[in-house]
A and B are shown apart, each in its own frame.
Chain A
Amino acid sequence: MPALKISHLPGIVGLILFMAIGLFAPWLSPHAPDQVIGMAWDVPSALAPLGTDNLGRDLLSRLIWGTRTSLSVTAVAALIAFLAGTTLGFIAGVCGGWIDQLISRVNDVLMAIPTLILALVILATLPKTLGVIILVLGVLEATRILRVARALAADIGAMEFIEVARLRGEGLVWILLREILPNALPILIAEFAMRFVFILLFLSALSFLGLGIQPPTADWGGLARDNKDGILFGIWAALIPGAAIAILALCINTLADWLLGANTRAWGARHHA
């Protein structure tokens, strides 16, 4: 593990906090997320520390439960995106030839259609269950990761230590996992931090449009949608989930910075011995 610097601490503590809030939502939230406790858009009080939402539910409780939904869906989708994107990208980059053509061209087709529109079409036809939403997010974001992974693998694949491995008769799995992955990891970690935030934004956008997480389940995008009309009356409830997304993005990138600390030398850069 690289050395932890003071500047990394706030981000890492923040991230642990977010995860703790998500994990312990049932114990942390003062009310059930769908329990009506007062009038619509009540001002903050002892009962509802952040006030209530458009239906009179406790905003703090919904935010806490929303953290749980948003973070878990994003994390699973990001994991799927990374597994699919790097695996296929590495295979395309290392194998080349028609395999590369097939994978890359299908990927190009997927990327050519604006993601939001494609997601809307898919989610409008399929049932909007959690599984489908996660899969759609994962597959669409995997296209971006595939591009990066393919370029990395093609670069590293041209190195002579890959030639040495092939001369040893190593199989594809060894070459991908032991020769290429460790060398691509620094860039992939940085990419992961960025993609995680993009997936979170994407999920929030879908929920905001009503095609993501379905009510009454709380999530950050849904919270913004439910309370957006309040902005006209000076109610700032819709801004809270936005702030949460911004803070989370900062935290994740600090974490990536820390993990990259040991690997500041990106692939291909010359090292001064």
Chain B
Amino acid sequence: MLDSSGTVAPPLLAVEQLHIVASGKPQRTLVEGISFSLNAGEVLGLIGESGAGKSTIGQAILGHQREGMAVTGGRILFAGQDLLRSSEAQLRRIRGKRIAYVAQSAGAAFNPALTLGEQVVEAARVHGLMDAQAAREKALELFRRFSLPDPEQFFLRYPHQVSGGQLQRAMIAMALCSGPDLIVFDEPTTALDVITQLGILQAIAGVIREAGVAAIYISHDLAVVAQLADHIMVLRHGRRVEHGTTGQILHAPAHAYTRDLLGAERAGNRPQTVQSETAPLLTIQSLSARYHHQPVLHGICLNLAKGRTLALIGESGSGKSTLGKVVCGLLAADAGSMTLEGMTLPSTLRQRTRDHLQRIQMIHQIPDNALNPKLLIGDQVDRALRTFTTLNRDQRQRRVMALLDRVGLDGTIAQRYPHALSGGQKQRVCIARALAAEPELIVCDEPTSALDPLVARDVLALLRQLQQDTGVSYLFITHDLHVVKEIAHDVAVLCEGRIIRQGRVDEALGAPLDDYTRRLVEAVPQLRQDWLAEMTGYTSSSVSTAAPSPLHAY
């Protein structure tokens, strides 16, 4: 265990009995009595689900609280100075210069009106650490270090001109440019696909080791944190669950919750095997589609059998979500045909009959956006029933209750608005709404990637159970190969709009693999400490040369 009293030199950062509350009635405790210390060059991983208080702690270390939050106790000592009792002016001298922050969404963190170069050197210039020329040299060196293409050009680009992965690397360069002692990483890879994530992790691991910077790495992905952190603290509901070295947490977790988290990532569930080969439900033949003149899909051929799950995998920009949209009719295909149970499926929504619409439903990635915030949950499910069934008012009301019960929600939720629900609950509502139509095919567009691991595991289990009970087929879009193994029977690998591999999961993802599929498979973080080290050297070249997908460049 870490103990500041055991070390001779005072630690770089010491957090003591930190208490943070959200104001309001009743007051909610967000962070309760958290203590830890961090020596120069050490990396601490903060792990937990959303609402665990990870980001709140991370921001408190920069002396910042979001609106409506207040620190009610404790100290944060950084190099001997208590950040909670420092003036704004004193904090400004530390922020960006000695403590830097890397946010989850680089897209939101950059100012779209300034070039990347200007923003990367800004902190160093504002703090007067170096002159313009030296700052530029430093930035270019960091860009080279992060294998960003053509650093000189990259310096002059605007945020919208580069890909998400490049932007994330630029943000890490921005944090490093002024040579800080401590960096807070707040889920820097959560929104990225595995291949991009691998590149970022390698970049972070490299610079932390070289520059000897201390870091706090916040994530809900234990496998990612395990690669970088010396120590891990597991948080839940703002309280410390467990704190130990990475080895201890991975191999000898003391707490049941930690074991649960480890279990969620190592889940060995398999989809129910289908007894016999069944008739094809959806057949796609040489289908092509474009987005605003930009060709995205080329000659896609796919078969999805009744009662089975077909996973579509590929990096971001490979066209998997586009294919989902075409199947639903939200995007018209240029060429090719689709048949559903032998009937031709018209390409546009306008041409599809109510019967077509009923047979194909969709579950979106981000349930917050898929539910109307101003309509009651019950009404939203009821509307689907009203559209697709002939039930009367009373029957519908009972059916809404039955559907909510079916997805594991309490019936009282029907009388609430979406904002009163958690992310997992919202996704269950979306599933209930899709089920209301009694569809034959549900297109699932990364339905679990925005959820915490434990919640995601339960949602996947629910989808599996529903398939077993109703015989519905899933077209499951994902970039997470763990998820593929848990839910899919068949898999299709998409690369730049083409299907390069297709078949049963164990066969298609088993040896021998082509380079692209192998990269996808191997870029999935594994729950052991030496995984990232093993990957180094293997992908660094392939990652850096992988051009941003045409969609990003566009």
Measured between beta carbons, the chain A residues less than 8 angstroms from B328 are 167
Most buried by B among A159, A168, A179, A271: A168
Measured between beta carbons, the chain A residues less than 8 angstroms from B387 are 168-170
A168-B374 in contact (CB<8A)? no
A167-B433 in contact (CB<8A)? no
B370-A164 in contact (CB<8A)? yes
Q: Taking A169-B354, A182-B374, A272-B66 as contacts, is the C-beta distance between A161 and B369 under 8 angstroms?
A: yes
Q: Separation in Å of the B364 CB from the closest CB of chain A?
A: 5
Indicate which residue in A161, A271, A273 contacts B372 across the interface (CB closer than 8 Å): A161
Judged by a CB distance under 8 angstroms, whether A163 is at the interface is yes
Judged by a CB distance under 8 angstroms, whether B159 is at the interface is no
Judged by a CB distance under 8 angstroms, whether A178 is at the interface is yes
Measured between beta carbons, the chain A residues less than 8 angstroms from B374 are 182-183, 185
Judged by a CB distance under 8 angstroms, whether A166 is at the interface is yes
B422-A167 in contact (CB<8A)? no
Q: Separation in Å of the A236 CB from the closest CB of chain B?
A: 46
Measured between beta carbons, the chain B residues less than 8 angstroms from A185 are 374
Judged by a CB distance under 8 angstroms, whether B357 is at the interface is yes
Q: Taking A178-B375, A183-B374, A271-B419 as contacts, is the C-beta distance between A166 and B330 under 8 angstroms?
A: yes
How far, in whole Å, are A185 and B373 apart by their CA atoms in the complex? 12
How far, in whole Å, are A170 and B375 apart by their CA atoms in the complex? 15
Can you offer 18 A-B residue contacts whose CB atoms are under 8 A? Answer: A160-B366, A161-B369, A161-B370, A161-B372, A163-B362, A163-B370, A164-B433, A167-B349, A167-B357, A168-B383, A168-B384, A168-B388, A179-B372, A179-B375, A182-B374, A182-B375, A272-B22, A272-B66
Contact with B along A240-273 (1 / 0, CB 8 A): 0000000000000000000000000000000111
Measured between beta carbons, the chain A residues less than 8 angstroms from B512 are none
Q: Taking A163-B330, A169-B357 as contacts, is the C-beta distance between A272 and B68 under 8 angstroms?
A: yes
A183-B357 in contact (CB<8A)? no
Judged by a CB distance under 8 angstroms, whether B371 is at the interface is yes
Indicate which residue in A161, A168, A182 contacts B371 across the interface (CB closer than 8 Å): A161
Q: Taking A178-B375, A183-B374, A273-B419 as contacts, is the C-beta distance between A168 and B357 under 8 angstroms?
A: yes
Contact with B along A162-182 (1 / 0, CB 8 A): 011011111000000011001
B362-A164 in contact (CB<8A)? yes
How far, in whole Å, are A195 and B342 apart by their CA atoms in the complex? 56
13 new A-B contacts, CB < 8 A, other than A166-B330, A183-B374, are A159-B369, A161-B369, A161-B370, A163-B330, A163-B370, A164-B370, A167-B362, A168-B357, A168-B384, A169-B354, A169-B357, A185-B374, A272-B68
Contact residues, B255-307 vs A (CB, 8 A): none
Residue ranges of A at the interface with B (Cβ–Cβ < 8 Å): 159-161, 163-164, 166-170, 178-179, 182-183, 185, 271-273
A183-B373 in contact (CB<8A)? yes
Closest A-B pairs by Cβ, 7 of them = A182-B374, A160-B369, A160-B370, A161-B372, A160-B364, A169-B357, A168-B387
Measured between beta carbons, the chain B residues less than 8 angstroms from A169 are 349, 352, 354, 357, 387
Contact with A along B345-383 (1 / 0, CB 8 A): 000010010100100111010100111111100000001
Most buried by B among A161, A166, A272: A161
How far, in whole Å, are A166 and B330 apart by their CA atoms in the complex? 8
Measured between beta carbons, the chain A residues less than 8 angstroms from B384 are 168
B375-A167 in contact (CB<8A)? no
For A158, the closest partner residue in chain B by CB is B369
For B373, the closest partner residue in chain A by CB is A183
For B349, the closest partner residue in chain A by CB is A166
Measured between beta carbons, the chain B residues less than 8 angstroms from A166 are 330, 349
Contact with A along B426-438 (1 / 0, CB 8 A): 0000000100000
Judged by a CB distance under 8 angstroms, whether B329 is at the interface is yes
The tally of residues in B whose CB lies under 8 Å from a CB in A reads 30
How far, in whole Å, are A271 and B66 apart by their CA atoms in the complex? 12
A-B pairs with beta carbons under 8 A, tally: 56
Measured between beta carbons, the chain B residues less than 8 angstroms from A164 are 362, 364, 370, 433
Q: Taking A164-B433, A167-B357, A168-B357 as contacts, is the C-beta distance between A183 and B329 under 8 angstroms?
A: no
B68-A167 in contact (CB<8A)? no
Measured between beta carbons, the chain B residues less than 8 angstroms from A167 are 328-330, 349, 357, 360-362
How far, in whole Å, are A169 and B388 apart by their CA atoms in the complex? 10
For B329, the closest partner residue in chain A by CB is A167
Most buried by B among A170, A183, A273: A273
Measured between beta carbons, the chain A residues less than 8 angstroms from B375 are 178-179, 182
Q: Separation in Å of the B50 CB from the closest CB of chain A?
A: 9
Q: Separation in Å of the A224 CB from the closest CB of chain B?
A: 43
How far, in whole Å, are A160 and B68 apart by their CA atoms in the complex? 29
Indicate which residue in B354, B362, B372, B422 contacts A183 across the interface (CB closer than 8 Å): B372
Q: Taking A166-B330, A167-B329, A272-B66 as contacts, is the C-beta distance between A182 and B372 under 8 angstroms?
A: yes
How far, in whole Å, are A168 and B419 apart by their CA atoms in the complex? 23
Measured between beta carbons, the chain A residues less than 8 angstroms from B360 are 167
How far, in whole Å, are A272 and B383 apart by their CA atoms in the complex? 28
Q: Separation in Å of the A259 CB from the closest CB of chain B?
A: 15
How far, in whole Å, are A241 and B330 apart by their CA atoms in the complex? 56
Contact with A along B12-53 (1 / 0, CB 8 A): 000000000010000000000000000000000000000100
Q: Separation in Å of the B492 CB from the closest CB of chain A?
A: 22
Measured between beta carbons, the chain B residues less than 8 angstroms from A179 are 372, 375
Measured between beta carbons, the chain A residues less than 8 angstroms from B388 are 168
For B388, the closest partner residue in chain A by CB is A168
How far, in whole Å, are A163 and B361 apart by their CA atoms in the complex? 11
Measured between beta carbons, the chain A residues less than 8 angstroms from B364 are 160, 163-164
How far, in whole Å, are A204 and B329 apart by their CA atoms in the complex? 53
Most buried by B among A164, A179, A273: A164
Q: Taking A161-B370, A168-B357, A182-B372 as contacts, is the C-beta distance between A273 and B362 under 8 angstroms?
A: no
Q: Separation in Å of the A159 CB from the closest CB of chain B?
A: 5
How far, in whole Å, are A183 and B375 apart by their CA atoms in the complex? 9
Q: Separation in Å of the A270 CB from the closest CB of chain B?
A: 9
For A161, the closest partner residue in chain B by CB is B372
For B353, the closest partner residue in chain A by CB is A169
Q: Separation in Å of the B260 CB from the closest CB of chain A?
A: 22
How far, in whole Å, are A160 and B369 apart by their CA atoms in the complex? 5
How far, in whole Å, are A170 and B371 apart by their CA atoms in the complex? 15
Q: Separation in Å of the B189 CB from the closest CB of chain A?
A: 21
How far, in whole Å, are A183 and B373 apart by their CA atoms in the complex? 7
How far, in whole Å, are A166 and B325 apart by their CA atoms in the complex? 12
How far, in whole Å, are A237 and B52 apart by their CA atoms in the complex? 65
Measured between beta carbons, the chain B residues less than 8 angstroms from A163 are 330, 362, 364, 370
For A166, the closest partner residue in chain B by CB is B349
Q: Separation in Å of the B178 CB from the closest CB of chain A?
A: 28
Measured between beta carbons, the chain B residues less than 8 angstroms from A161 are 369-372
Q: Separation in Å of the B250 CB from the closest CB of chain A?
A: 31
Measured between beta carbons, the chain A residues less than 8 angstroms from B354 are 169
Q: Separation in Å of the A116 CB from the closest CB of chain B?
A: 34
Q: Separation in Å of the B201 CB from the closest CB of chain A?
A: 27
Contact residues, B400-434 vs A (CB, 8 A): 419, 422, 433
How far, in whole Å, are A213 and B22 apart by their CA atoms in the complex? 55
How far, in whole Å, are A37 and B505 apart by their CA atoms in the complex? 97
How far, in whole Å, are A271 and B372 apart by their CA atoms in the complex? 14
How far, in whole Å, are A163 and B330 apart by their CA atoms in the complex? 8
Measured between beta carbons, the chain A residues less than 8 angstroms from B352 are 169
How far, in whole Å, are A170 and B349 apart by their CA atoms in the complex? 11
Q: Separation in Å of the A154 CB from the closest CB of chain B?
A: 15
How far, in whole Å, are A159 and B419 apart by their CA atoms in the complex? 16
Measured between beta carbons, the chain B residues less than 8 angstroms from A159 are 369
How far, in whole Å, are A164 and B375 apart by their CA atoms in the complex? 14
